[in-house]
A = this chain, B = another copy of it.
């Protein structure tokens, strides 16, 4: 699998400098990223492309080639694959669309590709995909111009996606959310390698700590459960299954030609493999962010601290809906807090510091309840930034106190420009921020689910 992420040499077929040409954008992106392997543009029409020597065909390239990237019209793909077989190139990423997802004719072309690849022992990623982005080797086959898609920083999240558009949107969102990426793998119609092939690789990959899967259908049901089970023992996997109802299943079929199958079966398989399932794109990205930035809590006893009472109420509602407990403060803890706070602060769970709250009040509440006491396993903190007593300093106070507690926290804060700046500061300190009470409760429940699944896997007798 390594070759897909770090090929020593790569041939890009159909290379031109024409604006809008996919192979051209791929070469530009590789050069921009600073990829260190050899790049061989292939096109009989040109002598050079973007300053690189261009070859009439794959066969004309001197020396060995590790991988081809094919982004030409569908009917031309088979011949290129046959050529690369003669040149003994054993890996190929086929970006081109126009196969199974287009009906009978496309399906026949795809079958021929599958057969040819198998005969010549070529491992194929795609077709109808975006291919690879590796943030550590700087290898990419993305054909989207840099100015349209923000590049996320290096990090620990790896993405497996049947949909290319989805993978790219996720990268763009990750950049926006301050979330670091290790690898993105988009496999589209998946004639050969898919999630079951990549999961064991990601399981052993040291730069990957969290795995996110977008799935319309699965490649090999049993094998998938087996490898996912092994992988989720080591790393959290979160999945978004799409194509659930009749309308979605039909849509999936014309998207990647996927037979989405009965949703209930997927649900059971995820549970069996220790995969956390997200319902919708936001729960998916929210969960990924929580799992990337925080550890699972030991239990489900959650404290809520806020300076906006109404938000505390909504978070409490959604915690209950998501299987989290909001136990009242013990008398002892209540007295300790009362001794430190103004009389009209509401010393309860939620702790409501009211509109008069200062940054320091947050530190006091967290230190008293999460560092000095062990009544709560985790905390949802809702610092609204509108009141005058609040400043950017609250970020450092909260981050430092939580670090010395050793317990997980998620942040909810709602508002405009000033709030967004504070959000960024929190996320630089690895505290995940959510823009609504319900999403912060959901993110915490995903952390707790990871705990439950880990225990289920570690203690299979339960």
Q: A residues near B, CB below 8 A?
A: 19-20, 25, 74, 97-98, 101-102, 143-145, 147-150, 161-166, 168-169, 172-173, 175-176, 214, 216, 240, 242-248, 250-252, 254-256, 279-282, 304, 307-314, 316-321, 325-326, 328, 343-344, 346, 348-350, 352, 354-355, 384-389, 414-419, 435-439
Contact = CB atoms under 8 A, between A and B. Distances in A.
Contact of A436 (B254, B281, B319, B384): B281
B102 A344 contact: yes
Contact of A355 (B164, B314, B388): B164
Contact of A316 (B164, B165, B251, B282): B251
Given A172-B415, A279-B438, 7 more contacts: A148-B388, A150-B416, A176-B415, A248-B316, A251-B348, A254-B346, A282-B438
B346 A314 contact: no
Contact of A414 (B101, B173, B307): B173
Contact of A314 (B161, B248, B354): B248
A281 B438 contact: yes
A281 B414 contact: yes
A456 B166 CA distance: 39
Contacts of A162: 310
Given A172-B414, A248-B320, A254-B348, A163 B101 contact: no
Given A97-B355, A144-B387, A416-B149, A251 B163 contact: no
A262 to B, nearest CB: 14
A155 to B, nearest CB: 16
Q: Closest 6 interchain pairs by CB?
A: A163-B310, A165-B308, A255-B309, A248-B317, A245-B320, A280-B438
A162 to B, nearest CB: 7
A250 B350 CA distance: 9
B313 A255 contact: yes
Given A319-B247, A418-B147, A309 B163 contact: yes
A280 B165 contact: no
Given A164-B355, A386-B168, A252 B418 contact: no
Nearest to A161: B310
Nearest to A22: B355
A317 B245 contact: yes
Contacts of A308: 163, 165-166, 169
A281 B145 contact: no
Nearest to A150: B416
A173 B310 contact: no
Residue of A148, A247, A318 with highest tally of chain B CB at under 10 A: A247
Contact of A321 (B147, B240, B245): B245
B165 A418 contact: no
B384 A439 contact: no
Contacts of A149: 386, 415-416
A242 B415 contact: no
Given A251-B313, A312-B251, A355 B320 contact: no
A241 B47 CA distance: 68
Contacts of A150: 416-417
Contact of A172 (B313, B321, B326, B416): B416
A97 B314 contact: no
